[in-house]
A and B are shown apart, each in its own frame.
Chain A
């Protein structure tokens, strides 16, 4: 999956999301797997609501983490991982 094909990603249905102070522990019932998401990945997952495109996600992360510029590459890489794991589609 590449950045251009991501569109407006949405969190997969049925995930059990357990927040901790430095990230999320996500249980994926259909694959019986547990995922450990750091704070950045947790926020990306949270923002994958089907309304934000990749550029908007990067802009939101820039705001959230008070960054000098939108972290386009980091967001794309994170989304690639989340999609390959089936957490986002």
Chain B
């Protein structure tokens, strides 16, 4: 993708009070260092997303296993991040756990680091054994969390548009083992669209982009039980 616009973002520390500038103009001030960091990231992400106005946006995990692309969609708190981390630990390549962009049949992760909360760590004890990750943990006013990415797991973080071969819809299960069933394209599209935002540009045929993606993939529904069996189920079907 060609560089279409250039911003100069600055963070300045004036005797303990931090301010943020964009192209030399103050845009926020009297910040703590942490607030400045959050503000900076939010601004960068907003501008980066604005530079992709034609892309459809999914709330989903995206990755590759055995060279084949997969996508796992699901509502908030369905366990996507936990599954993404489990897949990384199981040896899959996972490039995103939250936001996926689609255009012309090719999907790409928006390069957000994975935000991991305490329940995910409780479900995936090996996470505690990753010193670089734990070192970044922080106790904030809100929930306990830390940010990580595949490189913390010794995995590549390969972010580029790619085809998707398998797609999963993730739902909370009630058993200890995950249950995976094939799901029709109509139902999969309905599920996926519940986690989809149309392109801000309003480009025509974005829905066709989604339906062609679904039609060209193998589609499954996962009732998520334990993380390990879910990871095996995903890897087996990809």
Contact = CB atoms under 8 A, between A and B. Distances in A.
A12 B204 CA distance: 18
A67 interface: no
B208 A20 contact: no
- Bin the interface of chain A by size: 10 to 19
A23 interface: yes
A2 interface: no
Contacts of A21: 184-185, 215
Contacts of A16: 204-205, 207-208
B207 A36 contact: no
A34 B207 contact: yes
A20 B207 contact: no
Contacts, number: 37
A4 interface: no
Contacts of A18: 207-208, 211-212
A18 B81 CA distance: 31
Interface in A16-30: 16, 18-23, 25, 27
Contact of A20 (B193, B204, B215): B215
Contacts of B207: 16, 18, 25, 27, 34
B186 interface: yes
Contacts of A81: none
Contacts of A37: 186
Given A20-B189, A34-B193, A25 B184 contact: no
B214 interface: yes
Interface of B: 184-186, 189-190, 193, 204-205, 207-208, 211-212, 214-215
Interface of A: 16, 18-23, 25, 27, 34, 36-38
Which 6 A-B pairs give the minimum distances between C-beta atoms? Answer: A20-B185, A18-B211, A23-B186, A22-B184, A20-B215, A22-B186
